[in-house]
Structure 1
Amino acid sequence: MKYFLLFTLTLLLTGAIHAQSDKVAREKYSWTLGYKPDELITFYTPKPDMDLKLHVFYPEGHKRSNETPCIVFYFGGGWSGGSPDQFYGISKYLASRGMVAISAQYRTKKQKAIPRDCVEDGREAIRYVREHATEIGVDPERIAAGGGSAGGHVAAAVGMCPQIDVHPNSKVSSIPDALVLFNPVYHNGPEGYGHSRVTDYWREISPYHNIREGLPPTIVFFGSDDHCIKLPLIQAFQTDMEKAGNECVTHIYDKEKHGFFHISKGGRKIFEDVMNKVDGFLVEHKFLSGESEVEAWTAKAIEHYKAERGAKQKSKK
């Protein structure tokens, strides 16, 4: 019998145990769960003929006149590649709970971008949503940012690293009101991840090195076997956030690796556990209300995904 341990890092290391058998394969599905965004919105053109888009999921019955809480996600891929579809499934769930959920495009190494460009693009996504809140139907004071891996870094840096900003004199704030981070590479110092790619400006872009008072409330998820950021750095981040008076709750899943939170990697049970905690965090901070619906929603989403796949297979025959 294999166990994965969930630790919540506060001032001390505490936790709960969940069992999972090695003999039973994890129930895995595409991270899109077969869903596609309701709308694509161009939010930034950093270069001619290079339009970056928001992939937007709306709650059922959403109206532009609403002031709906919002979350903007950034995909992972080591700042080198990746796609907004990584957060389609998660966005669809949060839209079902009453948020406008967005998966944002940003430039990567494939577009000859450096990590600074990634963060600048991420910042412009938040700024655009806030500036156009009345057009999208969003509450400008309830905009969260989230992401996984390099996208987790982008989200953290948008919230914590104000020096990385292509429009530093803008009157529209690009600071999110909360952070939801999945295995973020938030330490870019010499002992952290990706230092060689940000050597000239690593102190400006490393969230860990920009911890200060007044940062957005933050929830973080890691696997203990993450190859990008090790436990001592995770614990140091948690401790320093608390010392600065910031709210930060870190969940560590024992024996899990990088990207474990995706239903396509860690499987259904871990996905549900992670999303229940995300849901609770967003309820606590007034982005959502009511009880989590993760398990019931996931069951329906899987039925939807299987039906979509079945229909595609029939159309090919």
Structure 2
Amino acid sequence: MGQGFSRVVLAVVLAVAAGSAAAQAPQVVTYKTAGEQALSAHLFAPSDVAARPRPAILMFHGGGWVAGEPAWTYPAARRMQAQGLVAIPIEYRLSGETATPADALSDACDAFAWLRAHAAELGVDPQRVAGYGVSAGGHLVAAAGLGGCAEGIKGPDLLLLWSPALDLAQDGWVRRLLGGADPATISPLSLAARGGPPAVIVQGAADTLTPARGAQAFCAALVQANGACDLHLYPSLGHLLTRNLDNQESDFDPDPVARADGEARLDAFLVAHGYGSKP
């Protein structure tokens, strides 16, 4: 990427610092090319990013590994940008004829490697890189943080997980997407025994897509491995904190009070670990 990438990052910094209207939208750059597919990173930088290295957070949308786009995490990215983080929603390969959840995990790992390799240009502190993942995106963040990346690639230093898919070992849907391969090899719960970075989880207690028992077992495994895990369960709410328990795959009706509380829990977690401040 070289000088061209540096010019793009400089343009981001100047636009945000100037407070222009264009700065309200992210700057989109390519972090990886997989075959013929260019995968994008969407940069939300705070206004003083050029003054000193800032903590960063890579953000991964949900969608069952087969749907979704980086824009789904834009609202959370803007909230974290306001707290002083460089927030970066990430595009990853969706499962289909040629890609699988294992490929998506490879993309997530490469995104963390790309960020650290370009930390100076981005104004990022490479020692403070968090990961935020929703549902299937939570799987990618957690697996990357627990040693699921190729040798030499470091995943996130903090895990922020919203209704995450953590227990994949017996998941028939994931097995089909993997073409019959064993999901346990990329399951965060299977990886948790080795320990990992501090984690915070926001989870509906009545979630039928990514059941709360997976989050509970994941947290217990991390703690047993001398790690830290804060689990926040919300009674009578389903996937993504929906109040519509009969249909948790679509027609979401998130409880606004629980959602606000969950966001506050994530914000407090970041502040406690030196990553942000209240806007």
TM-score range, shorter chain: 0.7 to 0.9
| Gap regions ≥5 residues in structure 1 | 1-34, 294-317
Higher relative contact order (CA 8 A, sep 6+): 1
In structure 2, give the amino acid aligned to 1:208.
L
In structure 1, give the amino acid aligned to 2:140.
V
Q: Does 1:136 align with 2:122?
A: yes
How high is the TM-score relative to the length of structure 2?
0.82
Q: Measure the CA separation in 2 of the matches of 1:203 and 1:232.
A: 16
Q: Secondary structure at the match of 1:91?
A: helix
Tell me if the contact between 1:161 and 1:205 (Cα under 8 Å) persists in the aligned partners.
no
Distance change in 2, residues 1:114/1:255 (3 Å): same
Q: Secondary structure at the match of 1:80?
A: coil
The aligned counterpart of 2:241 is: 260
Q: Secondary structure at the match of 1:194?
A: helix
Q: Secondary structure at the match of 2:181?
A: helix
The aligned counterpart of 1:302 is: none
Q: Does 1:123 align with 2:109?
A: yes
Q: Measure the CA separation in 2 of the matches of 1:115 and 1:195.
A: 9
Q: Measure the CA separation in 1 of the matches of 2:83 and 2:274.
A: 12
Q: Secondary structure at the match of 1:256?
A: coil
Q: Measure the CA separation in 2 of the matches of 1:213 and 1:114.
A: 25
How high is the TM-score relative to the length of structure 1?
0.73
Counterpart selection for 1:218 from 199, 204, 208: 199
Tell me if the contact between 2:188 and 2:218 (Cα under 8 Å) persists in the aligned partners.
no
- Aligned-residue offset at 1:200: 1.7
Tell me if the contact between 1:126 and 1:174 (Cα under 8 Å) persists in the aligned partners.
yes
Deviations along 1:213-253, one digit per CA (max 9) or x if unpaired, are: 44110001110121123233332222221111110111111
In structure 2, give the amino acid aligned to 1:142.
R
The aligned counterpart of 2:53 is: 67
Number of aligned residue pairs: 247
Q: Does 1:273 align with 2:261?
A: yes
Distance change in 2, residues 1:258/1:236 (3 Å): same
Counterpart selection for 1:188 from 157, 168, 171: 168
Tell me if the contact between 2:234 and 2:258 (Cα under 8 Å) persists in the aligned partners.
no
- Aligned-residue offset at 1:267: 4.8
| Gap regions ≥5 residues in structure 2 | 1-22, 243-251
Question: Which has the larger displacement, 231-240 or 137-146?
Answer: 231-240
Tell me if the contact between 1:81 and 1:110 (Cα under 8 Å) persists in the aligned partners.
no
RMSD, matched Cα: 2.1
Overall identity of the aligned pairs, in %: 30
Q: Does 1:206 align with 2:197?
A: no
Deviations along 1:84-120, one digit per CA (max 9) or x if unpaired, are: 1111011001101100001000000257310100100
Q: Measure the CA separation in 2 of the matches of 1:236 and 1:67.
A: 36
Distance change in 2, residues 1:111/1:77 (3 Å): farther
Deviations along 1:105-159, one digit per CA (max 9) or x if unpaired, are: 0000257310100100011111100110001110000000111011111111111
Q: Which has the higher helix share?
A: 2
Tell me if the contact between 1:161 and 1:207 (Cα under 8 Å) persists in the aligned partners.
no
In structure 2, give the amino acid aligned to 1:177.
D
Tell me if the contact between 1:161 and 1:206 (Cα under 8 Å) persists in the aligned partners.
no
Tell me if the contact between 2:174 and 2:183 (Cα under 8 Å) persists in the aligned partners.
no
Q: Secondary structure at the match of 1:266?
A: coil
- Aligned-residue offset at 1:203: 2.4
